[in-house]
Chains A and B, each alone.
Chain A
Amino acid sequence: MSYVLIVGAKSDIAKEVARTYAKNGYNLYLAARNVTSLEDLAIDIRTRSGVEVHLKELDITEYEIHQDFYDSLEERPLGVVTVSGYMAEQKEAQVEWAKSLNTINVNYTGTVSFLNIVANDFEKERRGFIVGVSSVAGDRGRKANYIYGSAKAGFSAYLGGLRNRLYESGVQVLTVKPGFVNTAMTKELDLPEKLIAQPLEVAEDIFKAQQNGGNVLYTKWIWRYIMFIISHIPEFIFKKMSI
């Protein structure tokens, strides 16, 4: 059975995405930094689903090794899901350049570097799928997290362009925009309960949208409408708001 490569495999969303693809019979490459910490998850997935799971060391911000990394995979993956994400505290990121830079590199630059390589290969092979997990935060910059949001905005635009380019080659590109998800990233935030998705829900939405040839997925679905409204608030009002 085909392999799916999950980049940024240590996140809570990635864990459920991995389980969901495995449950449906796909073998997995799980790529992350300090990947040995994923050994328990690898055992979990093998035990649950009986598929092959390989752990791969990868730092998404080390651009120069991306090509070698991709070439070293035993079998070319049928699909790639990038879940890499880093959200520094906005107030810290706006005064500490290192945190801003890391936010941009993990969410945008590194992922672009990696997906360029994947896209070139898939385009040549005329098959495959790319799932990029972006964020609703990229739909409009807000003072609460615009550094993270701007990196995700760039990533969403990148995925849109990639989808346009790869359409002719029959390669699917799915942009995923989660709203609030109950993960380590959001644990400290006080969020409205009804809008929070569980990582498993997000993973199931992603799998379904990918299998159905989807383009842009908001999860939970209600975020499509929330963000539509937020995006359409006139700037002269929006700039005075705190949301």
Chain B
Amino acid sequence: MKLNSWGMYPKVDSMTHELSDDTKLKEYLESCDECISYGNGRSYGDSALSANIVHTKPHDFFLDFDDAKGLLHVQSGVLLSEILESYVPRGWFLMVTPGTKLITVGGSIASDVHGKNHHTEGCFSSCVLEFNMMLEDGSVKNVKSGTELFKATCGGMGLTGIILDAKIQLKKIHSQYIKQTTIKTKNLRETFRAFDKYKDEPYSVAWIDCLAKGDDIGKCLLMVGDFDTKGDLDYKPKSKLNIPFNFPSFALNNLSVKAFNWLYYAKAPNGESKQRVGIDSFFYPLDSIKNWNRIYGKGGFTQYQFILPLEVSYDGLQEILGLISASGKGSFLAVLKLYGKKNDNYLSFPIEGYSLALDFKIEKGLFELLDQLDEVVVRLGGRIYLTKDVRVSKDTFESGYEDIEKFRAYRKKQKMDTKFHSLQSKRVQI
């Protein structure tokens, strides 16, 4: 079967093992030379692709919920959206959620995902108390927060074993509404000032216009907010708009992206404005369009996400935004965010500084542009997010992750490095 991830590039022939029970998984691991776990296919590139995959999504039972503590025990294939459906009406929300709810709990751990509240709550691993995983030899290990295996597995891209189930902490909410402030800025300087001004707000993210030129570079809509204390919890996920087929490749040209960015930017009032919005539109705006990845055409797309250390973020972003703008290559969505302190996990992406994420249609000349951007990122001591990546070189990847040797050494010592491989892990030789 042809398999791909969210970026629809690459598409590879792959055999699937559906994860059901431990005994069958153990037998499978004994019989298979090489595999990687695959959840809901929402990582963008090739981090969950391999000739053989363990499909974890069917492993989707809720196991227990402690109402007093907000502690949820679920199998690894449960989607974040399923947790929200069940627990928002009872007044609980995910402590950490990325910009899509259509990912599995196992995938959230393996990518150590983060969201709009990284600067206050950190990565997904900070709400994980413990999990069970199957190692290469078929043994099941209980992994507690703080242990070395925990640090290697959170952000470890599935390369330490197959996560079976996890206990995660939910947070109490009193309303399904978020009090949001939108700040429209005119350039990067104003954008940085706005991030700084609102750094105490629990949630923040900016949509940035990547095609702006000259003095306009870095103009954005910064959205900050927090849960309202009043309102109801009557949360019902919205019905979805669907993109039923791949758009022809000319649909997303420079002009249409410009028009989209302009519409989005233009509809916001100048300066600051206040809104009260629901969970889905605040946290998961793109989830309401099913199969939105199809707008990039059947050739697929990639998301380039990097982060720069705080002290060089401003100059670095000026430079990179300048390069992107000059290239004229469109990005439907560009997201800028100020991150908080890094955690102890070996391969978690976030460090303190600004991160930018941009989508690019796969086309001729793109990888050359991204190589150019890589040079700036490497020079400034930044790093690339593996979960989004499909093309980064070993050298670029390594230069950003100072704990990579610890990770490699640990995998080797624990004999975890023969079975679990993805196309990505082979490329960057993790």
Contacts and interface: CB of A to CB of B under 8 A. Distances in A.
Interface string A34-46: 0000001101100
B82 A47 contact: no
A50 B65 CA distance: 10
A48 B60 CA distance: 11
A43 B90 CA distance: 18
A47 B64 contact: yes
A48 B63 contact: no
A13 to B, nearest CB: 14
Interface string B2-31: 000000000000000000000000000000
A16 B164 CA distance: 21
Contacts of A23: 85-86
A184 to B, nearest CB: 9
A48 B78 CA distance: 11
A43 B63 CA distance: 6
A40 B82 CA distance: 17
B219 to A, nearest CB: 42
A41 B85 contact: no
B8 to A, nearest CB: 14
Interface in A25-74: 40-41, 43-44, 47-50
Contact of B61 (A41, A49, A50): A41
* Size bin of chain B's contact surface: 10 to 19
B64 A48 contact: no
Interface in B37-91: 60-65, 82, 85-86, 90
B62 A47 contact: yes
Contacts of A40: 61
B61 A44 contact: yes
Contacts of A47: 62-65, 86
Nearest to B75: A44
A76 to B, nearest CB: 28
Interface string A179-191: 0000000000000
B1 to A, nearest CB: 8
Interface string B102-129: 0000000000000000000000000000
Interface in A2-40: 23, 40
A44 B85 contact: no
A43 B165 CA distance: 15
Contacts of A48: 62, 82, 85-86
Interface in A157-207: none
A183 to B, nearest CB: 11
Interface in B192-233: none
Nearest to B65: A47
Contacts of B90: 50
A90 B62 CA distance: 37
B85 A43 contact: no
A47 B65 CA distance: 6
Nearest to A184: B18
Most B CB atoms within 10 A — which of A23, A43, A44, A47? A47
A124 B62 CA distance: 39
Nearest to A41: B61
A49 B82 CA distance: 11
A40 B63 CA distance: 8
Nearest to A40: B61
A19 B93 CA distance: 20
Contacts of B65: 47
A173 B65 CA distance: 37
Contacts of B82: 48
7 contacts: A23-B85, A40-B61, A43-B62, A43-B63, A47-B62, A47-B65, A48-B62
Interface of A: 23, 40-41, 43-44, 47-50
Given A43-B61, A44-B60, 16 more contacts: A23-B86, A40-B61, A41-B61, A43-B62, A43-B63, A43-B64, A44-B62, A44-B63, A47-B62, A47-B63, A47-B64, A47-B65, A47-B86, A48-B62, A48-B86, A50-B90
- List the 10 closest pairs (A to B, CB-CB), nearest first: A47-B62, A44-B61, A48-B86, A44-B62, A48-B62, A47-B65, A40-B61, A47-B64, A49-B86, A43-B63
